[in-house]
Structure 1
């Protein structure tokens, strides 16, 4: 049975009753503004302006309890528009109070602000009321804030992404250095990140250093540093020959040597951090049930699975894989009116990191996983409504999400015939 968004919307509206106090809060770095309404949209009491500290949160709790007492409300729904990372402490605090905490899409808040007073004015007081009204109409989502092992996993994968960005920048800067001072270097070492190459860059990076050392001394450097294979006198002679003919810069060599030393230190640091993070990530994955089954999918790696679980959290919190597809913004949308039928595309209303993760995962799967390869062939060559290649890849992203959800929740091994039923065994054989 497919997950129906309309049913979920009805459930949200039905949860707002005449006994519900609806609070909308506009979040800032230091000072927040909260306003309260009832299920008909009538504002209750004055707004509450509170600081982002212990005293401010205590003031908020007192204000909500007083409104509950005055108006006979038994439950509270607290809605915010997520502003950067500032809402995390407040969200955790509200959930500890056993109060329903919900999020509003900033795009919805921006588009709805003129419904309040027919004016494009935007300020904290107005936004708090707009947020409360959207909550009343059920236009919210309930965040799945990670806890336990999933909280650690999300922080580690976010950190890994930042480390990989920094690592990529350092790699480009080292390549930039080589292009300026020793452009012929990559003709000898195709990959400057190899062991022998890194030894050379640390001890004698400039062409003048290599020329003065000579081939025999260069080989001794490699051997004394533990390099036993793949490089020898022939490579050393080529390196010296390239250094003698180098057209690299001849000025600023002292500073250039210092620059490369600093870049190599950063490069080694980021590599070490990446490896340390992945060791911790693998330990966390071993604590999550269903990871072994999800890794049984051909082409699924530890990094991809860790990124997936870091974004979605506990898979038991989702009734159907379609919920995760919507979370990733991979659900379909179209603009149609009357007899005009518009083009279909993905909504992109969701976690962009999760969406990109699955697209990068599907690309190699189409080449190495027999079932996904067959599906891709079927989608792009079927007689009725064949898809373009990129459309097929997007469809396979949704298929991969549903497969992972099934394997993770039921904890069963990957089986192409059971989990990829729509392609049928004969189609797999034809594509193979």
Structure 2
């Protein structure tokens, strides 16, 4: 599978080198939508061969597209064809996978490049489907396109699980904020300052004692047994007693039946989401163990199962990278500076913050954890004693170690 991916990448690199001024390439720019796609056919010299083809997002529509491609290739004596797509949600993936299975050259164009290049076509900001397809074809004719990655099943599974975990974590955070900023702020505001200390007990209070008057009518021992599962020590009792003492003087509103029902629903839903997150993280670990580099990444200080999985999922097939600088660009850790009219000492380089933001965040968090261990003999950071700053280069040594392990394992 890696050999096939390397062959496709080499073919893409060759295409980038020879596309400008080529007389044998047919360029098909496709504007992606949910139900129907718009295709533009042209050459790398700027000649329009067929302005607009509308085809459905199904097998019949794909066959219609390929039939038109074959007809234009024969009519204009063109031997090669390249399809260009602008990623639009997930709508482009079925077409891209179908063309990739048919062994066509497929590339993608950045949405930022499409936006900036649109006005260059005719000097106007007008936007419609036909013009967007022509815009994509124009960028491809200039070689301003990206490699269409078709990862292995294991990488696809890993990316899907990471995406699912990200959505679940957002849902978890949303539920926590609804409980804290909606229910507690209205009915028991005195509990908010204790909310971050032991959330399981706080959720039990929200679920069974949202009305502070219920707590005020209880003895402390009865309240303690209701909201706890086991005794943890003096600090726990001191905290719960402070909550119990504040209940009689609470300034919160009086909750009704609807509020108590909402509290029960939110607490149960939060617990269910957390259980699903745990199962998802276990699946991520199991999928990650299938990669040889996974165990190597776990040996680096600051790298846990989640961050190792993020690194592997973002990099995909390491063989498509020629050197470490390309992976640093993928993470957005390459250095950039505005040197126009300045001397080198006055232009301070900072990281570009382009590329994969999830990978960049994961690497930076790992670097923050590894930073206190810089004096350890096995730690990858030993040269700098400065504090971390996300705008400078302090975490790049750690990133280079990550890249080294991932690339060298091949």
* Contact 1:13/1:136 (<8 A) preserved: no
- CA gap of 1:183–1:59, structure 2 versus 1, over 3 A, is same
Given the superposition, is the C-alpha separation of residues 139 and 361 from structure 1 closer, same or farther in structure 2, using an over 3 Å criterion?
Answer: same
Distance 1:122 1:235 in 2: 60
Matched, 1:374 2:409: no
Distance 1:119 1:181 in 2: 56
Per the alignment, do residues 240 and 396 of structure 1 end up closer, same or farther by CA in structure 2, a change over 3 Å counting?
closer
> Alignment partner of 2:28: what SS?
strand
Q: Distance in 2 between matches of 1:164 and 1:376?
A: 34
Query: Within 1, Cα distance between the matches of 2:56 and 2:307?
Result: 40
* Residue 292 (structure 1) shift: 0.5
Count of residue correspondences: 391
Q: Is the aligned partner of 1:230 residue 2:228?
A: no
After superposition, the Cα gap between the structure-2 partners of 1:239 and 1:125, relative to the gap in structure 1 and judged at 3 Å, is: closer
Match of 1:3 in 2: none
The more displaced of 57-66 and 173-182 is 173-182
337, 359, 366: which one pairs with 1:361?
366
> Residue deviations 1:127-167, cap 9 Å, x none?
22222122122111102233311111111111111111111
Counterpart secondary structure, 1:245: coil
Secondary structure of the residue that 2:354 maps to in structure 1? coil
Asked if the contact 1:321–1:401 (Cα under 8 Å) also holds between the matched residues in 2, the reply is no
Instruction: State the partner residue of 1:398.
Output: 396
State the alpha-carbon separation in 2 of the partners of residues 131 and 221 from structure 1: 63
Q: CA RMSD in A?
A: 2.8
After superposition, the Cα gap between the structure-2 partners of 1:205 and 1:119, relative to the gap in structure 1 and judged at 3 Å, is closer
d(CA) in 1 for partners of 2:13, 2:396: 22
1:242: which partner in 2? 246
Of residues 233-242 and 314-323 in structure 1, the stretch that sits farther from structure 2 once superposed is 233-242
The 1-side partners of 2:397 and 2:53 are apart by 46
Q: Structure 1 residues 101 and 181 mapped into 2: Cα distance closer, same or farther (>3 Å)?
A: same
Structure 2 contact 381–397 (Cα < 8 Å) conserved: no
Cα distance change, pair 113–215 in 1 and its aligned pair in 2 (3 A):
closer
Deviation string 1:161-180 (CA, Å, 9 cap, x unpaired) is 11111111211222222232
Which residue in 1 is equivalent to 2:186? 180
Q: Is the 8 A contact 1:13 1:137 kept in 2?
A: no
Using a 3 Å threshold, how does the CA distance of structure 1 residues 79 and 237 change in structure 2: closer, same or farther? closer
Shift in alpha-carbon separation, 1:390–1:164, aligned structure 2, 3 A: same
* Distance in structure 2 (CA, Å) of the matches to 1:118 and 1:197: 60
User: 1:110-121 residue pairs with structure 2 within 5 A?
Assistant: 110-121=115-126
The structural deviation recorded for 1:283 is: 0.3
Match of 1:73 in 2: 78
Q: For structure 1, which runs of at least 5 residues remain unmatched after alignment?
A: 1-7, 381-387, 413-432
1:371-395: per-residue Cα shift (whole Å, max 9, x none)? 4553342xx5xxxxxxx9526x642
- Secondary structure at the residue paired with 2:63? helix
Distance change >3 Å, CA 237–CA 350, structure 1 → 2: closer
